[in-house]
Amino acid sequence: MITAILLKPLDGFPEGSEREFDKVDFDYLVGMRAVRAVTDGDGLRTDGPTVAEYVAAGYRAENYPPQGYASRSTPDEITAAVSSQNAPPQTAAKAAPAVSNKAAPPVANKADPASSSSKG
């Protein structure tokens, strides 16, 4: 049996009540967003984020899982997330693409004395 907290009134019990359900009923009610698990065996909540969801929300992977929550990710997933956040960012030299505009006048370099002496 799984102890759950009702997120919606159910069978005459008000929202926030604790009830016990078998695994099949619990999974169905979680899908309907009607219940959540109270805690796992360690007293930690089991409805927390995965490490990917945690990082996507802007938190550091090394602080996963959040305080009071059980991990929903494997140790390998957590290690990979920490490694990717600690890796230096990949920067590539960006060059402007060559744009051919046949209607534009040629570019004149005013600082180049060779181009001004040829007009003479």
106 pLDDT band, cuts 50/70/90, is confident
The per-residue pLDDT for range 37-77, each reduced to its tens digit, is 876 556 777 778 999 999 999 999 999 999 888 888 999 99
DSSP assignments along 16-69, one per residue: T-EEEE-HHHHHHHHHTT-EEE---TTS-BS----HHHHHHTT--GGGPSPTTB
Using CA atoms, how far apart are residues 119 and 22, in angstroms rounded to an integer? Answer: 92
Query: Sorting pLDDT into bands at 50, 70 and 90, what band is 118?
Result: low
The average confidence (pLDDT) of the chain is 82
Chain position carrying tokens 């060559």 = 98
Q: Which of 88, 77, 21 is nearest to 54 (CA)?
A: 77
CA separation (Å) from 62 to 74, 86, 111? 14, 10, 54
Distance in angstroms (rounded) separating the CA atoms of residues 117 and 84: 57
Q: What is the pTM of this model?
A: 0.44
Alpha-carbon distance of 97 to 99, in angstroms, equals: 6
Q: Would you state the pLDDT for residue 101?
A: 73
